[in-house]
């Protein structure tokens, strides 16, 4: 008697013990740390993805712009005070816009290699006129006239200064707006936590208003991530409410409710723990998706519960096992696709579903739950029913039609939060700084000299582009330029200049440094480039640097093989194209496995089972008449398929009864709690999941009411 | 029309202020020549005037721009593009209004034996080496600007 009582107590608390054990493990291994809200975590592993992360390490991507409206003394004092406060924040420093002395020295030394000669200036050169004009300028200057002693005759083209930066009262200004400050963020800052710290520190000092504007590209990371988290929390709250309502109104079994919640939480924690061991980072979408998939496991509990497996001694429930094994099998086959996002989702789903199934099928009958009657009756069959064959034909026609309309939106950025406020602030700064719409690219080469050569090639093709490294002369170009300089009559010009200068009153040897240039090839190392304040990073056996190229010339510049495209959209499309054969192969394999399992499980009733698969699929695909499909729509269709398989197998079972309908109805409600509620999300990614789930649920409900099923319908319950 | 009216008022009002007359010596290293000029300055609350009567040249430093007048010709210059004139106007104003702190954003200030030494920060240090001045009560004994190209300008107020 005592042993029986102890065993009952253990059974009752084993669920809680497992949950506590998993909580300890998840915190011990800090599994939550691996969750990332960054979109690039959706991309498969590739060199480009690594390069995108490398690009984020460049200093140029980490600037903070601050502007105070107005050009009066108040505005100047305000911005100066803000500067003083903000530089107290660790890792934040004020950009001085002081020219880098090492770079200035380099530019001066290699000026004749960097700049070209103006057209026909040598041929039409009149040294007397030039000297006369120079003398006049010196004598009539208001302050002091700076003579260009290297090129006093103005033979070279001049370096164009960026016209976007202006100063007033010794301070940087935004044209037509007010004073501007630019801050640098320490390049070591990489994590979201560090970005959040900076973001919060800045916003405690600056409460953004019409007069003060502040922007940084890192704000997108922080704000978007918070918006996603806020939305996800709301959805989880709403989902929990729906689930609670489901239990309180329908099941009315508190013990079962608590145990189910514990099982689901444990399954999510275990899945998170194990997938975080396999993958360095887990996309937040995988977590949200995974949590939703885990709630599908409630089906297993419902079927066992309504068929009295928890209050009576019953044989093994074959249908639930077959449904589970079919879903797991489908995820297992899909997990072979070499795309981290799919792999993460599949592993998460397999672990959570299997864990929940084991508990619902084997632990719960041991714990034992009394079945309580509820006041809600199951769905009534309509007096009009449709034979399965008609539903299948209709579905196949609709699927075929949908495919003719189907468009795929591969732009991952469309899945992200539409942070309009921050986008407006960014547009404001771009407008006032008259920045052209440029997009970042990475230049990759096997040596520093080759990297410089690529940068210069690009600069020649796109003169307006911002390519910092193109200021340098590369190893190959140097001898060519040197021989071109030797072929110009510079020595004779210099001799004449020195002779004539004395006649115009210039002091002796005043032009001694004119038209001289170094003959030695410049040597570059990472150290020297760092001194010149030029961003070059070693990457594996290569070197990389960045450039900003005009977006409207995208087609032209991507023709250069050494350029690495950093566009998420392009990367995603490329990876999908690369995976196309794999997706088709594993997709077909999964479908074949499902068909085999359905026929194997349902035998003569397989048409009913197929109805539950093709009809929801056709309804969901008909969305293509209204919108483009994105990657999450497609993933959700796979999930819907696995849920439909479960329903198909249950509803085509020989021993179907009122309880089977009840179980499917409960499952539908719980699926809505898991996935359907996402339809209320403001984030396109989550909405995409929600809309598919909701349509799927509607389709299955339709089948429950209208699908003709000879054996059960005859009972007319 | 509006600009003419503003100019008229400023120039008329300037008659009520006491002008500061000075002698300017400018050494040009390239030509090894020294130039001499005479002029006067008028300081107002919101503007500053600089006149070289013999050269028929004047500058009016307003809050937003510099108005250069040469004979009958008039030009509007921006502070951003005329760093030399900007610094000059700031120097004169802060020296005469006894507010040397106004110069801190451009210079590091040192004072030795009654002489104030200004060491320029970037980007002024590219063209200006040092600036020194001495004031005896209200009188500017000298203001010397040494340029990096070895030119210099010395301004002495007439007693």
pLDDT at position A135 is: 92
Sorted by sequence, the CB contacts under 8 Å of residue A580 that are 6+ apart come out as: none
Residue A274 has pLDDT above 90, yes or no: yes
pLDDT at position A257 is: 83
Phi/psi at A610 (5° precision): -60, -35
CA B87 to chain centre: 7
Per-residue pLDDT reduced to its tens digit, A175-208: 788 889 988 888 677 677 888 888 999 988 887 6
Sorted by sequence, the CB contacts under 8 Å of residue B23 that are 6+ apart come out as: B36, B37, B38, B155, B156, B158
Tell me the mean pLDDT in the region A505-531. Answer: 88
Q: Greater confidence, B81 or A152?
A: A152
Judged on CB neighbours under 10 Å (0-12, 13-18, 19+), A243 is buried
- CA A38 to CA A341: how far, in whole Å? 12
Residue B5 has pLDDT above 50, yes or no: no
Q: Is A505 left (phi over 0), alpha (psi -120 to 50) or beta?
A: left
Q: Which two tokens stand for residue A428?
A: 């404001």
pLDDT at position A1 is: 45
pLDDT band at A144 (very low <50, low <70, confident <90, very high): confident
pLDDT band at A358 (very low <50, low <70, confident <90, very high): very high
pLDDT at position B6 is: 47
Q: Does A338 touch chain B (CB under 8 A)?
A: no
Residue B10 has pLDDT above 50, yes or no: no
The bridge status of strand B115-120 relative to strand B107-112 is: antiparallel
| Under 8 Å between Cβ of A194 and A203 | no
CA distance A156 to chain B (A): 21
Residue A80 has pLDDT above 60, yes or no: yes
Cross-strand partners of A93: A184
pLDDT at position A44 is: 64
Neighbours of A368 (CB within 10 A): 13
Q: Mutate one of B24, B30, B81, B106 to test the A interface: name it (highest A CB count within 10 A).
A: B30
pLDDT at position A164 is: 57
Q: Greater confidence, A573 or A408?
A: A408
Tell me the mean pLDDT in the region B121-127. Answer: 78
Phi/psi at B36 (5° precision): -120, 140
| Under 8 Å between Cβ of A331 and A665 | no
pLDDT at position B9 is: 45
Of the candidates A471, A538, A620, A603, the one whose C-alpha atom is nearest the C-alpha of residue A51 is A538
In the block, residue with structure tokens 């008028």: B42
Per-residue pLDDT reduced to its tens digit, A17-59: 999 999 999 999 888 887 776 666 666 666 666 776 677 666 5
Closest residue in B to A167 (Cα–Cα): B80
Q: Where are the alpha helices (DSSP H) in A62-126?
A: 73-86, 101-109, 111-114
pLDDT at position B7 is: 47
Residues across chain B: 159
Per-residue pLDDT reduced to its tens digit, B54-78: 989 999 998 778 999 988 899 988 8
pLDDT at position B27 is: 94
Chain B residues with beta carbon closer than 8 angstroms to that of A139: 28, 31, 33, 35
Model pTM score: 0.63
pLDDT at position A357 is: 94
Q: Are A139 and B151 inside 8 Å of each other by CB?
A: no
Chain B residues with beta carbon closer than 8 angstroms to that of A165: none
Closest residue in B to A98 (Cα–Cα): B122
pLDDT band at A706 (very low <50, low <70, confident <90, very high): confident
Chain B residues with beta carbon closer than 8 angstroms to that of A510: 30
Of the candidates A221, A285, A207, the one whose C-alpha atom is nearest the C-alpha of residue A42 is A285
CA distance B104 to chain A (A): 10
Cα A323-A328-A329 angle, rounded to 5 deg = 95
Q: Are B79 and A506 inside 8 Å of each other by CB?
A: no
Tell me the mean pLDDT in the region B81-86. Answer: 82
Tell me the mean pLDDT in the region A625-649. Answer: 81
**Element (DSSP H or E) covering residue A198:** helix A192-205
Per-residue pLDDT reduced to its tens digit, A4-19: 555 556 666 888 999 9
pLDDT band at A569 (very low <50, low <70, confident <90, very high): low
pLDDT at position A649 is: 83
Residue A158 has pLDDT above 70, yes or no: yes
DSSP 8-state code for residue A71: S
Q: Is A374 helix (H, G, I), strand (E, B) or coil?
A: coil
- CA B58 to CA B67: how far, in whole Å? 8
Q: What CA–CA distances, in Å, run from A118 to A12, A153, A472, B70?
A: 90, 11, 20, 33
Tell me the mean pLDDT in the region B140-147. Answer: 91
Q: Are B31 and A96 inside 8 Å of each other by CB?
A: no
Tell me the range of A89-98, A250-259, A338-347, A610-619 where mean pLDDT is highest. Answer: A610-619
Of the candidates A264, A242, A364, the one whose C-alpha atom is nearest the C-alpha of residue A305 is A364
Tell me the mean pLDDT in the region A532-559. Answer: 84
What does the domain layout of chain B look like in residue ranges? 23-157
Residue A716 has pLDDT above 60, yes or no: no
Q: Greater confidence, A244 or B88?
A: B88
Per-residue pLDDT reduced to its tens digit, A375-396: 555 555 556 788 889 999 999 9
Q: Are B35 and A139 inside 8 Å of each other by CB?
A: yes
Of the candidates A595, A633, A591, the one whose C-alpha atom is nearest the C-alpha of residue A408 is A633
Q: Does B101 touch chain A (CB under 8 A)?
A: no
Q: Which two tokens stand for residue A205?
A: 């000092």
pLDDT at position B8 is: 45
Closest residue in A to B106 (Cα–Cα): A170
- CA A663 to CA A94: how far, in whole Å? 64
Closest CB to B30: pick one of A98, A147, A166: A147
Q: Is A446 helix (H, G, I), strand (E, B) or coil?
A: coil
**Element (DSSP H or E) covering residue B43:** strand B33-43
Q: Which two tokens stand for residue A371?
A: 């079945």
Closest CB to B79: pick one of A147, A168, A506: A168
pLDDT band at B17 (very low <50, low <70, confident <90, very high): low
Phi/psi at B72 (5° precision): -95, -10
Tell me the mean pLDDT in the region A566-574. Answer: 71
Provide the mean pLDDT of chain B. Answer: 83
Per-residue pLDDT reduced to its tens digit, A400-452: 999 898 888 877 667 777 888 888 888 888 888 766 667 778 899 999 999 99
Q: Are A167 and B80 inside 8 Å of each other by CB?
A: yes
Residue A554 has pLDDT above 70, yes or no: yes
Q: Which two tokens stand for residue A87?
A: 């530089």
- CA A312 to CA A164: how far, in whole Å? 80
- CA A9 to CA A15: how far, in whole Å? 11
Phi/psi at A386 (5° precision): -115, 135
Task: Tell me if the domain spanning B23-157 has CATH number 3.90.1300.10.
Answer: no
**Element (DSSP H or E) covering residue B27:** strand B20-28
Provide the mean pLDDT of chain A. Answer: 82
Long-range contacts of A551-554 (CB under 8 A, 24+ apart): A551/A437, A551/A438, A551/A439, A552/A437, A553/A462, A554/A439
| Under 8 Å between Cβ of A675 and A689 | yes
CA distance B123 to chain A (A): 7
pLDDT band at A715 (very low <50, low <70, confident <90, very high): very low
- CA A690 to CA A677: how far, in whole Å? 6
Q: Are A144 and B79 inside 8 Å of each other by CB?
A: no
């Amino acid at each position: 008697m005592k042993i029986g009582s102890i065993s009952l107590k253990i059974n009752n608390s084993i669920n809680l013990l497992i949950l506590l054990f998993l909580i300890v493990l998840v915190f011990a291994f800090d599994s939550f740390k691996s969750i990332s809200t960054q979109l690039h975590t959706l991309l498969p592993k590739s060199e480009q993805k690594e390069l995108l992360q490398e690009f984020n390490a460049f200093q140029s991507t980490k600037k903070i712009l601050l502007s105070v409206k107005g050009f009066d003394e108040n505005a100047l004092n305000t911005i100066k005070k803000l500067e003083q406060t903000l530089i107290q924040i660790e890792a934040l420093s004020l950009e001085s816009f002081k020219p880098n002395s090492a770079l200035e020295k380099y530019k001066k030394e290699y000026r004749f290699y960097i700049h070209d000669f103006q057209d026909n200036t040598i041929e039409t050169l009149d040294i007397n006129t030039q000297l006369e004009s120079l003398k006049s300028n010196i004598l009539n200057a208001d302050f002091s006239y700076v003579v260009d002693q290297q090129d006093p005759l103005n033979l070279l083209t001049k370096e164009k200064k960026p016209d976007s930066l202006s100063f007033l009262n010794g301070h940087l200004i935004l044209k037509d707006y007010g004073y501007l400050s630019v801050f640098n963020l320490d390049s070591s800052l990489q994590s979201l936590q560090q970005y959040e710290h900076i973001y919060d520190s800045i916003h405690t000092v600056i409460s953004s208003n019409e007069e003060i504007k502040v922007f940084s590209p890192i704000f997108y990371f922080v704000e978007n991530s918070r918006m996603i988290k806020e939305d996800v929390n709301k959805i989880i709250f709403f989902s929990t409410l729906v689930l609670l309502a489901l239990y309180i109104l329908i099941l009315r079994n508190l013990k079962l409710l608590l145990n189910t919640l514990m099982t689901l939480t444990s399954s999510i924690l275990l899945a998170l723990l194990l997938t975080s061991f396999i993958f360095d980072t887990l996309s937040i979408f995988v977590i949200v998706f995974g949590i939703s998939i885990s709630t599908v496991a409630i089906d297993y509990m419902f079927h066992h519960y309504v068929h009295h497996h928890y209050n009576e001694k019953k044989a093994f429930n074959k249908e639930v096992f077959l449904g589970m094994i079919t879903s797991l099998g489908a995820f297992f086959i899909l997990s072979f696709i070499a795309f981290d996002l799919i792999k993460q989702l599949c592993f998460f789903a397999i672990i959570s579903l299997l864990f929940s199934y084991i508990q619902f099928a084997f632990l719960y009958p041991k714990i034992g739950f009394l079945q309580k009657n509820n006041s809600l009756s199951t769905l009534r069959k309509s007096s009009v029913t449709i034979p399965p064959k008609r539903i299948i034909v209709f579905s196949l026609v609709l699927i075929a039609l949908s495919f003719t309309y189907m468009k795929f939106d591969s732009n991952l950025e469309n899945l992200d939060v539409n942070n309009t406020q921050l986008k407006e602030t960014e547009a404001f700064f771009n407008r006032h700084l008259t920045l052209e719409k440029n997009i970042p690219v990475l230049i990759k080469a096997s040596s520093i000299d080759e990297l410089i050569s690529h940068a210069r090639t690009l600069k020649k093709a796109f003169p307006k582009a911002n390519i910092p490294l193109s200021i340098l002369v590369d190893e190959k170009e140097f001898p060519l330029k040197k021989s071109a300089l030797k072929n110009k009559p510079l020595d004779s010009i210099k001799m004449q200049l020195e002779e004539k200068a004395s006649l115009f009153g210039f002091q002796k040897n005043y032009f001694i440094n004119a038209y001289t240039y170094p003959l030695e090839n410049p040597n570059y190392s990472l150290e020297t480039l760092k001194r010149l304040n030029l961003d070059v990073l070693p990457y594996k056996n290569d070197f990389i640097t960045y450039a900003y190229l005009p977006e409207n010339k995208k087609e032209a510049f991507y023709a250069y093989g050494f350029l690495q495209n950093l566009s998420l959209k392009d990367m995603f499309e490329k990876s999908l194209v690369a995976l196309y054969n794999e997706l088709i192969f594993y997709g077909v394999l999964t479908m074949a496995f499902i068909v085999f399992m359905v026929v194997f499980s349902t035998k003569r009733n397989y048409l009913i089972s197929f109805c539950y698969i093709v009809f929801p699929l056709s309804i969901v695909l008909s969305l293509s008449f209204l919108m483009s499909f994105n990657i999450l729509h497609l993933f959700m269709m796979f999930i819907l398929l696995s849920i439909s398989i479960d329903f198909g197998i249950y509803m085509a079972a020989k021993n179907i009864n009122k309880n089977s309908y009840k179980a499917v109805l409960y499952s539908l409600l719980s699926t809505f709690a898991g996935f359907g509620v996402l339809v209320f999300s403001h984030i396109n990614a989550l909405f995409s999941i929600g809309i598919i789930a909701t349509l799927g649920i509607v389709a299955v409900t339709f089948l429950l009411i209208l699908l003709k099923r000879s054996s059960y319908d005859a009972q007319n319950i | 029309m509006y600009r003419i009216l503003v100019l008229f008022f400023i120039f008329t009002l300037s008659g009520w202020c006491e002008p500061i007359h000075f002698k300017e010596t400018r050494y040009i290293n390239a030509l090894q020549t020294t130039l001499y000029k005479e002029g006067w300055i008028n300081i107002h609350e919101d503007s500053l005037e600089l006149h070289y009567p013999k050269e028929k040249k004047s500058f009016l430093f307003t809050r937003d721009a510099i108005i250069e007048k040469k004979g009958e010709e008039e030009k509007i210059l921006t502070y951003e593009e005329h760093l030399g004139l900007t610094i000059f106007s700031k120097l004169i104003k802060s020296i005469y209004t006894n507010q040397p702190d106004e110069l801190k954003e451009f210079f590091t200030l040192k004072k030795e034996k009654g002489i104030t030494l200004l060491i320029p920060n970037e980007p002024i240090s590219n063209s200006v080496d040092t600036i020194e001045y001495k004031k005896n009560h209200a009188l500017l004994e000298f203001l010397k600007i040494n340029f990096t190209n070895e030119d210099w300008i010395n301004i002495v107020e007439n007693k």
